[in-house]
Structure formats: C-alpha cells, structure tokens
Chains A and B, each alone.
Chain A
Amino acid sequence: MQGLVPAATDGNMATEFHNLQELRHSASLANKVFIQRDYSEGTTCRFQTKFPSELESRIERTLFEDTVKTLNNYYAEAEKIGGQSYLEGCLACATAYLIFLCMETRYEKVLKKIAKYIQEQNEKIYAPRGLLITDPIERGMRVVSFFAV
C-alpha cells in the first residue's frame, strides 16, 4: 500500500494523507480499544454500546454510541429474515446457486454500506480526534477496534 504523503502545507496545521493500512500497521502497538460483541440477544451481530473508558478523553460518548448503534442497525438489517432474503434463497436454489456468481447477496450489499459508513465516520468524526475505526468484518465480526493514531 503506497502511502500518499503530499508535501506539508505551510503552517502548523499541515495535514497529511495516510494510507489506512499504514496507519493501522504503525498503530499495531499503539493503544487500541476493542468493542466486543454483545451476545445478550443470541448470535445475531450486535456490538456493545457501552462506552469504554479509554476513549473518555478522546471522543464524546454520544458520538461513539451513535456510531455503534448505527452499525448495529446495519447488521440487523443485513441479517433480517424477510421477503428479500427468502426470494434470494429461492432464486439461488432454482439456478443451482449459479446466481451467486453474478448477484451480490443482501448481506454483502449491507456490508458495503457499512464500509462506506465507517469510512465516512472516520473522515468526519474520528480522524480529527486522532482515532480510527476498523471495519469489524476484517476481524470476523468479533470486535470493532478503535485505535489511536
């Protein structure tokens, strides 16, 4: 992953673009906070909305909770068993699952939305505070990690 490091602008508030992978790697030993899954309702994907104390000084509680709650809503939508998922299943059976080669499943669609949402949150809210969220799918949806850059 090539990092883009344009020349710093003048002034003290120079901004740099960092590749997230680089940041993540460099932050591998930095402080990280992991938000674990909330299994109180079974194995459906939910993350705990409890505010970790490590982030107390880094970000406002409401912002954090909003982020996690939105993520939870996204996942609930992805795992919802309803008409669309049923039709998807029937179509897949009818085509001997060849449809998966061309069509994206509902879950994958929502995952894309989630990735976009996380990206946007990082840009707008967390990067200015020196934090970054990683997409939980990268870790098998076991944790949401916040790491301080």
Chain B
Amino acid sequence: MPGFSGGGVGGGVGGPASAPPRPFRPSRYVPVSAATTFLVGATTLFFCFTCPWLSVYFSSVIPIYIAVIFLFTLANFCMATFMDPGVFPRAEEDEDKEDDFRAPLYKTVEIKGIQVRMKWCSTCRFYRPPRCSHCSVCDNCVEDFDHHCPWVNNCIGRRNYRYFFLFLLSLTTHIMNVFGFGLVYVLHHRQQLDTPHAAVTMAVMCVAGLFFVPVAGLTGFHIVLVARGRTTNEQVTGKFRGGVNPFTNGCWRNISHVLCSSQAPRYMGRWRSPQAVEVQPPFLRPPLTEAQLEAKVLDNGIQNDRHSTRSKSSLDQMESQSADAEPPPPPKPELRYPGLPRADTEESSLLTEAPPTPSMYKYRPTYSSPGRNHTALSHPNKMIRGESLDSPSPSILQSSRQPSYRSEPSSLDGATVVGGGVGVRRGGGERGEGPGGPGGTAVGMSGGMSGHSLTGRSYTSYPSSLVLSTGGSRSSSLRSAHTAHNPLATLQSEGTTDTSYKSLANQTPRNGSLSYDSLLTPSESPEFESAAHELSPQKPRALFPSTTLTGQPEVVSPGSPLQGYTSPFLSAQIAQQREGQLLQGSATFSSPHRAYLRAVSPPPFSSSGPPEIQHLLHHNHDPSSRAFRNPSSSSSSPGARSLEPPVSPPPRGLSLGKSQSYIGEAGPQYKPRPTGGGTVLSGGGAGGGQQAPQSTSRPALANHTTSKPGGGVKKVTGVGGTTYEISV
C-alpha cells in the first residue's frame, strides 16, 4: 500500500526486487486525510442531525438508502486507497542482462496495426508494457496507469480503476443525496434556522455543495474516459488526440471491461511456492553459438523480429570489430577526455566489458557526468554498444520522445510542433491508420517512417515529425542494418542513440545534472511526456532505406526508400537517392541535417533544398568534412550551409552525419532555449557542427582534434551547456 510505506518500512511487499523503503512523508497524507474527514465527518453529522427528522417525516427508507450509498462509497474509497493498482515487480537482473547497452530506449510493438512504443524503465529495469507508466510518487511502474490520485494517496491502475470509478460515481450520488435531503430539511425548517440541527444541516450542505462541482466534473470526465477506453494519462498527454486508440474495443466493451472483468491479480507479494523438479543429469548443455547468444539478447519478440535479426547481425559485426579493438580503460569521467583515442575502442569496451548485471551499474556514475554530453567526446557510448555514435545524439535523442503512437500527434511538444503538420505526419506515418489524422500528403508517403512531410509546416516540428514518422522502426533500426563494418557506425549510431537512451536512462539521475540530458529528457512522470523533444534516431533510418549498407530496406521504412517525405523532402530524397550509392547510407543523415538546418533557418533552407542536401550528403560521408564542417558551420548559425562536400570514407561520414543529424535534431528542439539552437548547444552542437560530429565518430574526433587550431585542446560541454576546453 503506497500510503503505508512510511517509517522506513519497505515500500514493496515481498515479491522479487521490491522497491526500497521510502522515507515517511506526512505531506502525502494530507489530502487523503482531509478527504476522509470530510466524507465521514459530514455524513455522520448528516445522519445525526438530519436523518431522524427525515425518517419520521417521510419514511425510514431514506436514511437507509443514504446509508447504503454511503457505505458503498466508503468501500470503494477504501479499495481505491488500499488496493495495489497493478505494480510491476522490479525485473530481476537476469532479465535485464538481455537488454544490455545495446538495447534501445524504446521498443515498438504493433497493436492492432498501430505502432506503440514501449519505453525502457530505468528504475524497474524492463520495457514498460503498453499503457504502463512509472509513477514518480510511488516509484513503481503501474499497469494500465491512469493517474496518481492524491485524494486516495494511491496510484490508480489496472486493478483498482474500477473501484476508483465506482467511488466517483457513488460519491457524486452521495453528495447529491446529502445536499438534496439537507435542502428538504432546511426548506421545511425555514422558521427554525437558528436551531443547531438546522445550522449543522446547512453546514453540511455547504460542504456538499462545495465538493459537488469538482467531484461531478471528475466523474463526468472519467465516464467519458471509460466510454472511450482511455486512461487519464493518455488523455492528458494527448496520445490519441486526432488519432486512433488501439486499446479501445468499442464503447460497450470498454465499459464492460472496466466494470465486469475479473479482478486482476497482483504481482507483488506473491508467495512463491518452492517447486521440486527432478533434473536428470547429465543433461546436454549444447554450446550456444555466438549467434544464438546474440539472438537471445536481441530477440524481443514478434514485433521486433525483423529488427532483432538485423540487430543480431549487426551485433555480430560489432563483436568482430570489438575483438580487434584495444580494451578500453575504465569509464571514468576524467579518463574520458584522454580517452578520446579510445573512441575506437568504445565499441569493444562495451562488448568486452559488459557487466553481467546489473547492466552498466558501474558505469552509471560516469555516464551521468557531464562529460558524457560532450560532443567532443568520443562518447560515452560505452552504453551504446560499440557504436561510434556521438554523445550528443544520445542526449538529444533521449530528450526527444519518439511517439510510437501514430495516433498521438499531440504528444509532441505543443510549443514546437505544429498540430496540423503533426497530424499529417501521423496520418502518413501510421501504416495501420489510414483515416487517422489529416493524412493527406502523409498518406502518400510510404507507410511507417514517413512523417517528414511535416516540414512545410514548421521547421521546428520537423524533428518531431521525423520522430513520429520513425516510430517503430527506430528500435529496430538501431541495431539492425549495419552489417557493414564501417557503415555500422552510422546506422549503429541510430541504434546507439536508442541504446544510449536506455543506458542513459538507467544512469541519468533525475536531478538534471546532465547538460543536454536534463534539457532533453522530459520528466519521467507518468503524467506527461513531451514528445516534441524527442528526436527520433529513426529519422535517419527512415532515410536510410536507400542506403545499401545493410541491404535491408525494411530497417528504415518498409517499401520504397525515402518514402514518406513530403514535398520539401522529396527533392532531398531524390538527391539522396542519387547519392545513395556513394553515401551508403549516409543519406539518411542528410535529412536530419536538413531538418536541423531547416529548423534553424527555414528561409534559406527552402531555397537551397537540393544543393544543401547534396552538401549534407557529402558531409555525411566524410570525416574530414566533419572536421571542417565544424569550423564552418559550427559556430555559425546552425543553418549554415557551410557544409562542404568532401570525400570521405562512408562509415566515418555516416557517423559524422549521424551525430550531426542528431545535433540538428536537437537544434530545433532547443530553439527556444539556445539562440538559433547553436549557442547553448555549444559544446554539444555548436550549431550542430563541431562537436557533434566529433563525439559521434571516433575518427571524427580524431579529425576534429587534429583540425583544431589549438591542437590537443578539446572542447567539452558541461552541465548547463557551458563549454570548457580540455587539453588532450
């Protein structure tokens, strides 16, 4: 019971991995105490002062009826307060091991044709099932999370929603009863209003009248929610605004599910009966091949089948790569900078050092250090499995939420997202939802990753559109597709970003000590997540299909490559396709770059469409381009087209591009904050230029450092975006 975890008593009740004991906070009990006092106190007074006359004057049925309703209200109130809402026990270490650093922060599943995103919960160590959310007050993941109700001091979730709903209904009825019969009494005693009975009755009527308005409002709200099959969390965060709710089965079925379904079992505090099992030795323990192990790690089910296979292969590649890399030094912040040359070995370090359990716990402090956010750093992607992605991208991506719900355009941050555009995007993006949202142009786009169509609307929303469009493929794209060795970097970067999210999420303290992370990462409160901030790494992936890196077009988006781009991007697509062969997948980054650029300075962007794309594409390829892209574009406006089309090995370029793309994505998000998106990002993105690429790819870093005029001075972004230089 959440309300009784005070005094150091363990908050969890038995079960595996219970929550640690939480400190006693008396302030949590104020609303529930007040509610109880008012309810019980007012009703008792009513029974003592008003009901005797009512039973005499009218009939004794009235007090009995009122008493029944009151008892029903009280029973539901107690059930809503004391019942476990459906808390998930913390995942055990062995389960977490599978989702190691390589695992993305989000996994997508398809529910009735709609992509739904499951987020990794760093506290509970599993991917939250759909509709599950982590309550920050209770510090638990709750199944079918509705909201945390302070009046009952408990989360409302799958198990106790019914009681909460009935409590609201019965309380409304009870208030109406009390007020109504109190009014009858007062009207009959108009000449005797100075008697204590009348005075008390009037006081009770006042209390009832006062509470009636909010309670009735809340009741009506929940009636609508039940009829629509939504939770408060989903309604408030606008997940299905203008879209399709995959969890609804029709009004009647929704109501019957809430009211008539069998009581769901609780997961916490279950008694595990010891089972004796006869195990026959010797049993053959077939050696698991590397592929099988990888498969085990990555195979997360039907939805991710394609992805998992891809990621497995990519992992294999990474494994082979890591085998050649030198062992990385321990992940300490101070070592990070000198560890730049280690960037190459990040991958290997991740692979070789992956702690069995708890994953990355020992890395947590390091990752939460500000150093991680340095773009200049080769990036703390120890968490990211060996991907040479840039740190900024993880941080950037982390903040951005990728609403896998195609039907949740509104999940994007309102400030940065154009509603209409989003809707359009969504419409196109969702494969399963044709009618959802204004999918005019979007529909034309290929299913899945589309969503780039937004561009026209608002540049700021571009990243969000990309985010939306990327949707499901993101998680898969992360790991997948890069079988190629070098290109692995780029594509892996995508994956890494996701991975980094997860690992970052695991490590990131909520105090916002991370520079970009704190900015980027919305609070984990179940109430709201701003999707707008989420840049989906899938964006590049979406563009990716054209690349031949992995030879898996499905990675990015099903079907035609670069689909889903509306007109502004069509030219980009064409350009990309043209460049596709050369870029080998770096094309994907071009669009993010474009997005970034566009977001920063829309007007010039539009004019320079294709040439810019080409520049971007070229940039992607080249590490050297990175190097000089940094000086040229970094400090200047993010939209600087100073990108030059140098020729560079694709892998590096990809990684570079990736980082830049992420930076770009970050840019528009933070537009409000940093001017032009560049300044604040300084260390991180410096307009998306310098540091991002450096951090992303190791070669990039090398290039960067070498290209730096100071020689051996690295710029690192600290907490709050401050930049400082460190001599390497």
A residues lining the B interface (CB < 8 Å): 1, 4, 12-21, 23, 28-29, 31-43, 48, 50, 52-54, 56-58, 78-81, 84-86, 88-89, 92-93, 96-97, 100, 105-108, 111, 115, 119, 122-123, 127-130, 132, 137-143, 145, 147-149
Contacts and interface: CB of A to CB of B under 8 A. Distances in A.
Contacts of A132: 277
A99 to B, nearest CB: 11
A42 B129 contact: no
Contacts of B274: 1, 19-21
Contacts of A93: 72, 166
Given A23-B277, A149-B283, 13 more contacts: A12-B282, A17-B278, A20-B277, A31-B293, A31-B296, A39-B116, A39-B130, A41-B112, A50-B305, A130-B279, A138-B270, A141-B267, A142-B129
B425 to A, nearest CB: 23
B144 A36 contact: no
A122 B279 CA distance: 9
B126 A142 contact: yes
Contacts of B291: 53
A42 B144 CA distance: 12
A67 to B, nearest CB: 15
26 contacts: A20-B274, A21-B275, A28-B92, A31-B293, A32-B98, A34-B95, A37-B301, A40-B110, A42-B111, A48-B302, A53-B291, A53-B295, A53-B299, A78-B262, A81-B253, A85-B260, A88-B262, A89-B162, A89-B259, A96-B71, A127-B277, A127-B278, A128-B283, A138-B16, A143-B95, A145-B94
Interface in B142-164: 143-144, 162-163
* A-B complex: 4 closest residue pairs judged by Cβ atoms: A130-B283, A36-B301, A20-B275, A96-B75
B278 A34 contact: no
Contact of B257 (A29, A81, A84, A140): A81
A2 B97 CA distance: 27
Given A43-B129, A139-B92, A52 B295 contact: yes
B275 A122 contact: yes
B89 A43 contact: no
B280 interface: yes
Please tell me the size bucket of the interface on B: 35 or more
Q: Which of B75, B259, B272, B295 is the most central at the interface, judged by chain A CB atoms within 10 Å of its CB?
A: B272
Chief secondary structure at chain B's binding surface: loop
Contacts of A41: 111-112
Contact of B277 (A18, A92, A145): A18
B265 interface: yes
B292 interface: yes
B79 interface: yes
Interface string B259-271: 1111111010010
A92 B260 CA distance: 11
Interface string B91-125: 11111011000000000011110001000000000
Nearest to B89: A140
B356 A137 contact: no
Given A37-B129, A85-B260, A142-B129, A107 B265 contact: yes
Contacts of B301: 35-38, 48, 50
Interface of B: 16, 71-72, 75, 78-79, 88-89, 91-95, 97-98, 109-112, 116, 126, 129-131, 143-144, 162-163, 166, 246-247, 249, 253, 256-257, 259-265, 267, 270, 272-286, 288, 291-293, 295-296, 299-303, 305, 356-357
Contact of B75 (A39, A58, A88, A97): A97
A7 B16 CA distance: 32
A52 B296 contact: yes
A75 B263 CA distance: 13
A38 B272 contact: no
A39 B16 CA distance: 24
Contacts of A106: 262-263
Nearest to B163: A97
B286 A43 contact: no
Contact of A139 (B91, B253, B280, B285): B91
B565 to A, nearest CB: 28
B131 A54 contact: no
B299 A142 contact: no
A140 B296 CA distance: 20
B75 to A, nearest CB: 4
A143 B16 CA distance: 14
A76 to B, nearest CB: 12
B285 A130 contact: yes
A15 B280 contact: yes
